[in-house]
Chain A
């Protein structure tokens, strides 16, 4: 029982938190800018590398170094939007998808030029699990940080979207950009705000992922499929649906390797990502609008 909690459920939640943070940004940008941003995973990865560099320069803790990285990533994202996305605002959205696809490769190869392809640890040394409930539940402190950071960021974004003027305007544009324009909402400002939120949450997801495992130039790409699956599961344009979707998919991926029948893992752990894909395919067939009635384009 406790083995199940310690080795499958808690790691599933950890992974789910990271997916949730990533999927949140994808769902927001998909809802507001109306395209699937393939470069989102690379922003995650880049943010983790920024953090790595700042840590090297200052010796700060990764979660502290993540803050200036978020600012850098947000600025970069605004620049990228201006250069590569804004020219296609009035074009068919598939042009934006292609542009984001190109950006994906550009960001990744730029990281390769500067950092090489070798993966490296963000935190050094082995972390001994801390014991809770007389040793029944145990997980390393870093998992606690991951949970807490995710909760803090979620609360902040929830506050932004439901309590602030710009956040409500973001939901309004997500709902109907045409009506937003007629209402006098400055759509370009809303789009900029969206990129800032998306970049910051992506950097958080990237840093947490690097803390949990390691820094890897392909980590963003590997996250792309589960993140899209989470966003679709929750319903596009439903940021908190995406969060739940991320948690469900993270847990489902880990639990798929649990020996439910006999002693062998139910699914070869190498196929974990397959779970995300399978869930996505089921949703696309059964209910493309997701669990929370998001948009279908």
Chain B
């Protein structure tokens, strides 16, 4: 069953179109990775789902219903959570307060969920009283993801979660993404570290110049000559 689908999207800021006829799909339980060179429109594609820029053609479908150009506040309520690449935690709020804010739109008792998140990220449980701004880059990513998971979303959108992290943390983040996915949350992730990302991806899309270039399973794309030449470096 398809959780999220972008169907032939044209989108951009104002009159400047960045995406041309983009189509993406995320099925239930999948990790889908979007890779591509800088400026290919990867992050833009995520933002267009979230109502952060103007979609001029095509449509976005969440499960059965169309959510094209729905404002971000409502998209969240519909069960789509988006973790931006930077500025994704409230630095002056404690870790716990960040998670509570993640649950802002919930009106039920979210404390059991809070315990689940802490069980998933034991590091954060230790630091629950610390301001999120005092944590390391990797831990902040954890807070940001934990915050998004507080809503028990239908799908999680991650924008380059490993950007700016050391290789050690990168591996940890990819493991975490897999762990989150294992709890049943489908993930649509944009990544710069193509090789590692493809390693955990069920399926992947390659975007170039705002257009779909290749589509396939992770292993297929890893084996693809052109993809290897473009993104995985000479040694790939």
Q: Do chains A and B touch in the complex (CB under 8 A)?
A: yes
Query: How far, in whole Å, are A68 and B82 apart by their CA atoms in the complex?
Result: 43
Query: How far, in whole Å, are A187 and B84 apart by their CA atoms in the complex?
Result: 18
| A interface with B by C-beta (< 8 Å) | 165, 168-169, 171-172, 174-176, 178-187, 237
Query: How far, in whole Å, are A187 and B100 apart by their CA atoms in the complex?
Result: 16
Q: Is the CB of B87 within 8 A of A165?
A: no
Binary interface profile of B, 168-200, with partner A (CB < 8 Å = 1, else 0)? 000000000000000000000000000000000
Give the Cβ gap from A20 to chain B, nearest Cβ, in Å: 20
A-B contact count (CB 8 A): 57
Q: Tell me which of A171, A175, A186 contacts B73 (CB under 8 A).
A: A186
Additional 6 contacts, C-beta under 8 A, given A174-B92, A184-B72, A185-B73: A169-B104, A171-B90, A179-B89, A180-B101, A182-B50, A237-B92
Q: Is the CB of A171 within 8 A of B92?
A: yes
Q: Is the CB of A183 within 8 A of B91?
A: no
The dominant DSSP class at the B interface is: loop
Nearest opposing residue in chain A for B97, CB measure = A168
Q: Is the CB of B92 within 8 A of A184?
A: no
Q: Tell me which of A165, A171, A183, A186 contacts B147 (CB under 8 A).
A: A183
Query: How far, in whole Å, are A205 and B77 apart by their CA atoms in the complex?
Result: 39
B105 at the interface (CB under 8 A from A): yes
Query: How far, in whole Å, are A91 and B91 apart by their CA atoms in the complex?
Result: 25
Query: How far, in whole Å, are A175 and B101 apart by their CA atoms in the complex?
Result: 12
Q: Is the CB of A168 within 8 A of B87?
A: no
Query: How far, in whole Å, are A165 and B102 apart by their CA atoms in the complex?
Result: 11
Binary interface profile of B, 61-97, with partner A (CB < 8 Å = 1, else 0)? 0000000000011001100001010011111110001
Q: Tell me which of A168, A169, A174, A181 contacts B72 (CB under 8 A).
A: A181
State which residues 49-63 of B face A: CB under 8 Å. Answer: 50
Query: How far, in whole Å, are A182 and B50 apart by their CA atoms in the complex?
Result: 8
Give the Cβ gap from A188 to chain B, nearest Cβ, in Å: 9
Q: Is the CB of B87 within 8 A of A178?
A: yes
- Enumerate chain A residues within 8 angstroms of B92, measured Cβ to Cβ: 171, 174-175, 237
Q: Could you list 17 A-B pairs, sorted by A, with CB under 8 Å? A: A171-B90, A171-B92, A172-B93, A172-B101, A175-B90, A176-B87, A179-B89, A180-B101, A181-B72, A181-B73, A182-B76, A182-B82, A183-B76, A183-B102, A183-B104, A185-B73, A186-B73
